[in-house]
Amino acid sequence: MSKQRLLVVGNGMVGHHFVEQLVNAGGLEQFEVTVLGAEPDSAYDRVHLSEVFGGRAPKELQMADPEWYAEKGVSLILSCKAESLDLANKTIISEQGESYVFDKMVLATGSYPFVPPIPGHERKGCYVYRTLADLDEIRDACAGGRTGVVVGGGLLGLEAANALRLLGLETHVIEFAPRLMPVQLDPVAGDMLKNKIESLGVKVHVDTATDKIVDGEGALHRMMFKDGTHLETDVILFSAGIRPEDRLARQAGLTVGERGGITIDEQCVTSHPDVLAIGECALWSGKIFGLVAPGYQMARSAVSTLLGGETRFKGADMSTKLKLMGVDVGAIGDSHAATAGSQELLLLDRPSGIYKKLVTDETGKILLGAILIGDNSDYDQLLQFYLNKMELPDPTLSLLLPEGGSAKPTSLALPDTATICSCHNVTKGDVVAAVKAGNHTVADIKACTKAGTGCGGCSNLLKQVVDQTLTEMGMEANNHVCEHFAFTRQELFHQIRVGELKTFEQVLSKHGKGRGCDICKPMIGSIMASLWNDHILEKPHQPLQDTNDAFLGNLQKDGTYSIVPRIAGGEITPDKLIVLGQVAKKYNLYTKITGGQRVDLFGARVDQLPVIWKELVDAGFETGHAYGKSLRTVKSCVGSTWCRYGVKDSAGMAVTLENRYKGIRAPHKIKFAVSGCTRECAEAQSKDFGVIATEKGWNLYVCGNGGMRPRHADLFATDLSDEDLIKYIDRLMVFYIRTGDRLQRTSVWMENMEGGLDYLKSVIIDDKLGIAAELEDQMLHLIDTYQCEWKTTIEDPEKLKRFAPFLNSDEAYMPPRQIVREQAIPKADEELILIKELV
């Protein structure tokens, strides 16, 4: 039997997925397939387009090269835009005039960016953000510009804004609606997202309509707004939504929707029985689906239709989880509580920038929707409650709070029919079967099921199911740091140490794969700092740092930073105290004495950090490392120097310890305290390392902490001399640095250690492993190579460049302030009542 001619018009993500599914299903035995792609590049991942501006090579976005199509026997013709469709003769004519005849055809033409009909939108210097070719034009335009504007504050608009930001432009977002992402977010969530994005230096203008675009005076364009204001800019990106690319269908007389889109049924068949449509060009039940996962589902349905299968497209979930400029955003189902009788459960933590909303049915037992801002850790669990209509735990609020109540881990509760990966339609049962068949790593599961290889949003849940299944099989679950390194943090530490690896690139080349991520990069940066003690802002190390380390200061809720000089042991001279007051007054900084006996100064703009720190360094201050996963403070009482109950000089010991261990990087922050007697005024027994004076010496307590899950420290050794006390702390610190997991507090480290406190004593005191001298030598190296990171920074012009407010501008934005208790603090947000409906 001769093969039918199948023509696929469109080689985007959905078009490629269709071909891939057809090949896997044996469809090439029935069809001779030709694919027409309008772009010069074969299918690539548009979802991660902005990563090209962050250094990712365009080649890495490619989903399959032309050789793959040739190997499979599929004819791929690129740079071939379909010009017209003749249904009577079943022929497509290309722009070049070539004819392509078909028996069956699949339209996967996708969508095109909507450009509002603003007078002046066609000017040179105005672009859309859709293809690799668009990126090249935008990059060239930005090379000579200072300011860029994105018109549109939806998902694509914020991605485009990130692209401009990565190119070094002062970036603005213009949104017609009263909030960002108006389709997905409610007013509170939109406002919080706006604040977070503005804290990164992007200026957001909501409820703003552009009247026209004309010549600028200080820039290429002037955008005139309907309220009479204006904004000058060199580059304008339009990202105000998409429209289905249905031109061919309209021209040929296929049925299209009133507002666009090629009408299809559950089999993805259009009004012509031999023409199918999938992806963003298709209209199903009056809806256009603008995400990749529904497009993939349509592709599978179309393959089934052509091969006589039973798979049908019955709609798709439009929930989404993403990270916009480092900000977690999640939206599930009916996030606006539009369902009659629905109830809302809200959690608002403004200081931490976290907002979570659950929408339930009138019984409070079934999840209808959710919004997450600032923390997506609950997304996977909530999505499965929503998709599978599982009954919510009691109390429901436990889902949103730390140590989430009695709710069972999601993977335990899910039925085998639950969809884990909607992009590739992989269920929990599929994953479990694949694990039991011998695929014991997440990478193996991705390779054999394709789960997690689409949008990537299911990766965390996928790992949970894999780990759960391995545990049930009596096997050890994978504890690799991430998909780029098949090692634990401890194993990577030893690889870096033994191999004397000094850069992330060396580590990646020797022991990893891919380009790394926001998990492994800061972790490896921390390991190298713990081993080699290079300045963290040296050029090779800069890209590895998180937000706080990148600017040597703690980022605050309004986008400013805190200044925290070291005050060892809480001991400070009057002259230095006066300097702190003078600096705070000069720069209008909010001043607070902390629980760790330091003076914190809040409200410094990023461009002010170097000048403020120069004044402090000149006065003899050093960085307090409040931004780092390192020693924070050594709290103390006044001890025997002043107190009539003190038996030893606790303040002197605190100063000694803080100066000895300052700047040493660890898996997590570390806090000390020294009390001069058993009255314990310094609260030493709630610290990672607590020291209490006795008549015979010092008692050492270890692995305590305050915080969200307080833990009383354990007594490690008693009546120690000064020398033994320091020796044991040296060994303990380095042993923790070597063996602790990523972001693991000392308390959890010891709790997870086989043998616990007794084992730790045998290693540190009895030298059971024979490594005591090695641990001490490593500590001496760190002490000998200490540098004040701010002193080094202000002496290096290259390092100072990163503290400019924008790469191409000296202008700086100061968030609004209000005076409370005689000091300037951030202007108050609109208050929102925290609803605590404990059912």
Reduce the secondary structure of 319-384 to three states and give it as a string.
Answer: CEEEEECCEEEEEEECCCCCCCCCEEEEEEECCCCEEEEEEECCCCCEEEEEEEECCCCCHHHHHH
Following DSSP, what letter does each residue of 563-598 receive, concatenated?
Answer: E-B--GGG---HHHHHHHHHHHHHTT-EEEE-TTS-
Identify the band that residue 836 occupies on the pLDDT scale cut at 50, 70 and 90: very low
637 labelled binding-site residue: yes
What's the pLDDT at 370? 93
Residues 385-404 have a mean pLDDT of 76
788 labelled binding-site residue: no
pLDDT in tens, 309-365: 999 999 888 888 877 776 888 899 998 888 999 999 988 888 778 899 999 999 999
Asked if the model's pLDDT at residue 810 lies above 90, the reply is no
Range of weakest confidence among 400-404, 432-436, 544-548, 626-630: 400-404
| Sign of the torsion formed by the C-alpha atoms of 52, 57, 61 and 67 | positive
Is residue 169 within 8 A of residue 146, CB to CB? The reply is yes
Kind plus residue range of the DSSP H or E element containing 302: helix 292-306
3-state secondary structure of 741: coil
Q: Please give the Cα distance from 222 to 501 (Å, whole number).
A: 51
Residues 134-150 have a mean pLDDT of 88
pLDDT in tens, 507-551: 999 999 988 887 899 999 999 999 999 999 998 898 888 878 888
The neighbour count for residue 41, using CB atoms within 10 Å, is: 18
Identify the band that residue 437 occupies on the pLDDT scale cut at 50, 70 and 90: confident
Kind plus residue range of the DSSP H or E element containing 650: helix 650-661
Task: Please name the residue ranges forming H helices in 167-288.
Answer: 187-199, 247-252
Identify the band that residue 812 occupies on the pLDDT scale cut at 50, 70 and 90: low
- The structural domains of the chain, ordered by start, are 4-112+244-306 (3.50.50.60), 126-240 (3.50.50.60), 408-473 (1.10.10.1100), 489-545 (no CATH), 624-784 (3.30.413.10)
Is residue 788 within 8 A of residue 621, CB to CB? The reply is no
395 cis-preceded (ω within 30 degrees of 0):
yes
Q: Please give the Cα distance from 839 to 832 (Å, whole number).
A: 21
pLDDT in tens, 151-174: 999 888 888 888 888 788 899 999
Range of weakest confidence among 226-240, 291-305, 375-389: 375-389
How does the average pLDDT of the chain come out, rounded?
A: 88
Encoded tokens for 232: 């000058």
Encoded tokens for 567: 């005050």
CA distances from 229 to 111, 194, 207, 560 (A): 33, 20, 13, 27
Tell how strand 75-77 and strand 82-86 pair up.
unpaired
pLDDT in tens, 12-66: 999 999 999 999 999 999 999 999 999 999 999 887 777 777 667 788 888 888 9
Encoded tokens for 636: 């103390």
677 labelled binding-site residue: yes
CA distances from 195 to 176, 202, 336, 812 (A): 17, 10, 20, 16
Asked if the model's pLDDT at residue 405 lies above 60, the reply is no
Range of weakest confidence among 478-482, 515-519, 537-541, 774-778: 478-482
Asked if the model's pLDDT at residue 676 lies above 90, the reply is yes
pLDDT in tens, 567-606: 999 999 999 999 999 999 999 999 999 888 999 999 998 8
DSSP at 47: G
What's the pLDDT at 1? 64
Encoded tokens for 738: 């070597």
Identify the band that residue 834 occupies on the pLDDT scale cut at 50, 70 and 90: very low
Encoded tokens for 319: 């929930």
681 labelled binding-site residue: yes
CA distances from 759 to 729, 743, 765 (A): 16, 22, 10
- Contacts of 774 by beta carbon, 8 Å cutoff, 6+ apart: none
